[in-house]
Amino acid sequence: MQELNLLPEVLKRVPRSEWTTLPGTRVDIDLVAHTAGQWLDDGDPKLALALLEPWFVEDGSFVARRELLFDMLLNLYCDMRKPRKKSQLLRRAALLGDATLRSGAFQRLATMASDKNHFASAWDWFDQAQRADPTRHRYPCPIWK
């Protein structure tokens, strides 16, 4: 039997201004991610954005347990054409994150550099990702370097 996520219904009855307090509660992060994903699927990215952004306000927010929310927020910034916010979030994660989030931020930066055909920079970012969390990333193919 699948669990029922009531968080979207609860949040509809709570003023959005109070959503900023969610990260300090015991709400299940997986339910937050599911809710944001549901709202994205329903075509309401602004609701998803309002739900996800508060999770990365505090400097101590950049932890592995929030990686899915981090990835969703980065994707949302990209989809909503908010490159400045995306860049700021990546910088904060690279600076303040635990090993997992730092590595993820560096991996994103590597991908972005590669997309712009800046391959030397991409490899530098990838090396930083690997140093941040050596167990996480492997070179895709040794002959590429």
Q: Return the domain boundaries, the chain.
A: 1-97, 98-145
**pTM score of the predicted model:** 0.88
Summarised one tens digit per residue, pLDDT across range 60-76 is: 999 999 999 999 999 99
Give per-residue pLDDT as tens, 110-122.
999 999 999 999 9
Q: CA 115 → CA 13, 110, 120, 121, 128, distances in Å?
A: 42, 9, 12, 11, 18
Q: Could you tell me if 93 and 101 are in contact, meaning their C-beta atoms sit under 8 angstroms apart?
A: yes
| Structural contact between residues 26 and 7, judged by C-beta atoms closer than 8 angstroms | no
